[in-house]
A and B are shown apart, each in its own frame.
Chain A
């Protein structure tokens, strides 16, 4: 069925291609393509008027509003990834004010958990990971600052246009803003091979990654195929691909961007200078000892590079061309060796002497300033950018015509006319309210995360192979309001959540379903499963274990026995760290955290706009047998038995309210009582029986779905 649908779609696309022929001119249908047209909004419309107009055309009736408990649970899960507490539930149920729900939305949007929840969505898009990938998958020690930046940005309701500009060119546009420096790390999240011998190829692959991710995340265009040829369906030329890439041609990795404001940095430098002065003799002797193995290592590594790279590394800096500078910077990490690496290679007397010196040096630790806080990010390379060429078939060894930085020809065919500060030009073009893509793409993403499906179901593909928006007028209406509201994501969220459409029940209505089985008209709220991270966080919250501490170094909860990771996984000594929110769990590129992997966490090698939502036995095994879920269930049971009063009914009510925010129904009470009796008999332990009950509650559909 799916294959068939794909074939049909391809057929349509090929028909369009035939229309295009070999001409470089865009066809009328390409020029008319909805995503490239200016946003047209009717100021008098509302979300509901636009949706209901479509429903009326088809004779479909919208669902009535969901009950208050469902609504509260939905709002909490969508905005914070956590279920509401029994107290929050009680407060909302008791609030008869007409704006009671609005108050809930405001409370949730102001909660720090909001940023943690929505940052995770953005990190999917940013292909965020705490490690390099490839063979060694080494830890990137400072990328977590980017994750914190995203959380803070969502919580602060940073205007989205500013958020975009910071991530593309924050270093250029806001040079005194340390946050903006971290933000540029967005395009530092490519997987990278630390020991690549073919540096030219590696650099080109990184540029491909950056160009592709920039296009899909900010513009909702998947134009990766244009690296080899003009896009077969969308009006994107191969030349455009390299024009866009040229904005990044002069960008390099910066893994030691210092994050201290001027005065503090000056103070740090003064203290450091004092330490250096006192230790100069010791350090000079240490350096001399290490220089021997360092030279050996350098020579050995150098010999593995192709001639071209060898020459570049050995060349006098002043003589390097801009392109050679890029080669050099990429190779540098491979021919630079830490003191620890070199010290490991020492043997005999030098090793002994080095150990003594190390001890002597440590005596001065008390006057040594702490390590500087640093970001892993990107920065401009050189005063002059290396040339960018269109590459035949995307082959880095087959350059064709030179291209200058420029935008998509369909929107703006002229060159950008910049030499330095190139990324600023790109950022300003993308984050411009007149750009027909940027705001629309983000509005659709928000709708996607709010409903589990976007107005266009392909949030990173607004091209011909993507899905056309089911209601373009709605998308445009929201986009216009979004821009008018100063690109405020919180206002947009609130606008959506206060609509009748969002508050509808998810119940089936056979009459509506007969006319619109896929719910493309949004006559009901689409029920959808929680992501693995939200499942884990919800379980931690319900069991009373969640450690709400925010920010900082990633955490390493224990891994199931037998799961190995190259690159290391040092479990936190403090067990309360294991119960931090999922967004803080270390993301090892080659080995996803098993529970998240089972629940479709994206593979962090490319940007992910829409998670798969599979149902598979490994998820069930996780819920049935994993040590984690078993432990959390014990905590949940202990909490229930502790808080539920003396009566069995009181405890059952507590359990249901924690897990589902409602009372158990009569039939459920009976089932549960019988289960407890049975399980107590089987295990000989009432506590165990309760833990079994609680684990079962955490495995139900009611717990796992946003209803």
Chain B
């Protein structure tokens, strides 16, 4: 005992500290937690096209018909009631009988592929040759909270695991010192809150970790005031001693060892987590690429930069909200609302794509853009648009996604997906496919059912991928 104490009293660095303090830290310590947990990489069903996902979630519902899905017919019909042939839907705000509202946007074809993008997204438009634009997305929810929940978990009712949790369950981690599934938000709370990155019925190990702003991204990551590294290490070595005392005749119980190990992971996480969010070493050029030099784009640019740093460090699934708390929800004054949020997101996203590409990370990182739904072709309050889950646009870039192509279309006014409708479950199935996972084979036994990420649906859209 005394000998042990002296040993780690003299160690010079952390690695040595654990190497010496942990005389019992062998393969057994990788016990039940590690076998069942998120701690080990696992085999995939298909050869993976991507290693990580960055999901750019435009919360509140961006208008597809003002960004990626031009509708000349809508402009012709503007001011008239919607023709009955399109089928009047029940909407969140009861606007189904309102007149159609044209899009005043200027549309241009971009890149080699000639993909249409409106002038609201000039920087992103330069990357269309890396993007598959899915213009036929659809979902089930009418209200934000259900729809955000479905986009994350597959169901409009909360309680199921988020896609990121499934990915963690299915793939395990590539960096055990950082969470595998990280969520970044603006100042406001995402509607429905942590339900959206919950592990649902999967063990808590798989849930998303919301990174907080500042230098302490994870709750309790920083030792309390005045607790030096030396003091903390001393405490941890005492803890190990006491656990070893009590556990000496319980070595068959791998849980006890795993818990000892989890303190070491937590200790490592303290520095790894702080390092991951420390952008002081990023160059001015990089910051400026992400728009961090301008007030409008500084915060979201910062998060986009963090997303790159996280996937660089092996984080599998980064979900990045723009407009958290329904920012894009333009029931009125869509010009002002979308004008603002497009500005906030355009340069940072373009910067992220460019940076990933120049660092050779884009080929392994599937970047997904979209909201929880799109917006209606008919007006609300004269100058806004209501929620539209029946047809909207999402795009994917990198991570094996084909560049410069469309998948699917909406009807002539952009109300409903008509060709190759791509449901939320199909999006989830396709993202999992990119990561090498078959959504049908990825199951977890819960309440008597073999649950899977896509519940009872899901078709892989293989045409998205090269």
Residues in chain A within 8 A of chain B (CB atoms): 1-3, 6, 9-10, 133-135, 137, 191, 193, 195-198, 205, 216, 222, 224-225, 228, 233-234, 303-306, 458, 460-461, 463-466, 507-508, 510, 513, 527, 529, 560, 562-566, 590-592, 594, 597-598, 600, 603, 605-606, 612, 614-627, 630, 665, 667-668, 670-672, 674-675, 678-679, 682-683, 692-693, 695-697, 699-702, 704-705
Contact = CB atoms under 8 A, between A and B. Distances in A.
Interface string B227-247: 110111011101101110111
Contacts of B111: none
Contacts of B228: 682
B18 to A, nearest CB: 14
Contact of B269 (A193, A621, A668): A621
Contacts of B189: 564-566
B94 A700 contact: no
Given A137-B193, A682-B234, 4 more contacts: A508-B253, A592-B194, A616-B204, A671-B1
17 contacts: A9-B445, A224-B449, A460-B447, A562-B219, A594-B219, A603-B195, A616-B33, A620-B263, A621-B219, A624-B266, A625-B224, A670-B2, A682-B228, A696-B238, A700-B239, A701-B247, A701-B259
Contacts of B219: 560, 562-563, 594, 618, 621-622
Nearest to B196: A590
Given A513-B252, A620-B265, A6 B143 contact: no
B269 A625 contact: no
Given A197-B94, A615-B262, A696-B238, A600 B448 contact: no
Contact of A193 (B146, B204, B221, B230): B146
Given A465-B445, A624-B220, A135 B144 contact: yes
Interface string B129-173: 000000000000011111000000000011100000000000000
Contacts of B247: 701
Contacts of B146: 134, 193
A550 B245 CA distance: 38
A600 B252 contact: no
A238 to B, nearest CB: 15
Nearest to A704: B259
Contacts of B234: 675, 678-679, 682, 692
Contacts of B158: 133-134, 191, 590, 603, 605
Contacts of B252: 508, 510, 513
Contact of A222 (B242, B260, B448): B448
B232 A624 contact: yes
Nearest to A682: B231
Interface string B255-297: 1101110110111011000000000000000000000000000
A193 B159 contact: no
Contact of A195 (B143, B193, B220, B230): B143
Contacts of A195: 143
A1 B243 contact: no
Assign chain B's interface to a size class: 35 or more
B204 A135 contact: no
B238 A675 contact: yes
Contact of B192 (A303, A590, A612): A590
Contacts of B256: 701, 705
B80 interface: no
B239 to A, nearest CB: 5
A700 B220 CA distance: 18
Given A594-B219, A603-B200, A674-B5, A617 B194 contact: no
Contact of A621 (B242, B251, B266): B266
Given A566-B193, A591-B194, A621 B220 contact: yes
Contact of A463 (B235, B249, B267, B448): B448
A10 B450 contact: yes
- Per CB-CB distance, the 4 closest pairs between chain A and chain B, nearest first, are A605-B159, A135-B145, A620-B266, A465-B448
A10 to B, nearest CB: 6
B447 A615 contact: no
B441 interface: yes
A563 B228 CA distance: 25
A198 B157 CA distance: 14
A594 B221 CA distance: 13
B223 A695 contact: no
Contact of B242 (A137, A612, A679, A700): A700
Nearest to B222: A625
Given A193-B145, A465-B448, A508-B252, A614 B200 contact: no
B84 interface: no
Contacts of B9: 678
Contacts of B144: 135
Contacts of A225: 449
A590 B209 CA distance: 15
A625 B252 CA distance: 29
Nearest to A234: B448
B192 A216 contact: no
Contact of B204 (A507, A598, A695): A598
B424 interface: no
Nearest to A625: B220
B27 interface: no
A612 B220 contact: no
- Which of A529, A597, A600, A617 is most buried by chain B, counting CB atoms within 10 A of its CB? A617
A161 B442 CA distance: 40
Contacts of B267: 620, 624
Given A3-B441, A135-B191, A696-B235, A198 B246 contact: no
B220 A6 contact: no
A168 B171 CA distance: 43
Contacts of A460: 447
Contacts of A510: 252
B204 A612 contact: yes
B79 interface: no
A134 B146 CA distance: 7
B292 to A, nearest CB: 22
Interface in B192-227: 192-195, 198, 200, 203-205, 209, 212-213, 216, 218-224, 226-227
A620 B262 contact: yes
Contacts of B159: 191, 603, 605-606
Contacts of A627: 224
A622 B235 CA distance: 14
Contacts of A616: 33, 37, 204-205, 262
B250 interface: yes
B242 A702 contact: yes
B332 interface: no
Given A565-B193, A682-B230, A306 B37 contact: no
- Which of A133, A137, A461, A700 is most buried by chain B, counting CB atoms within 10 A of its CB? A700
Contacts of A527: 250, 253, 255
B144 to A, nearest CB: 6
Contact of A671 (B33, B242, B262, B449): B242
A621 B218 contact: yes
Contacts of B33: 614-616
B299 to A, nearest CB: 16
A699 to B, nearest CB: 6
B218 A306 contact: no
Contacts of B157: 191, 205, 605
Contacts of A458: 448
A229 to B, nearest CB: 10
- Which of B143, B222, B228, B232 is most buried by chain A, counting CB atoms within 10 A of its CB? B143
B265 A696 contact: no
Contacts of A9: 445, 450
Nearest to A670: B1
Nearest to B5: A674
Contacts of A591: 193-194
B36 interface: yes
Contact of B203 (A6, A560, A612): A612
Contacts of B19: none
Contacts of B235: 624, 679, 692, 695-696
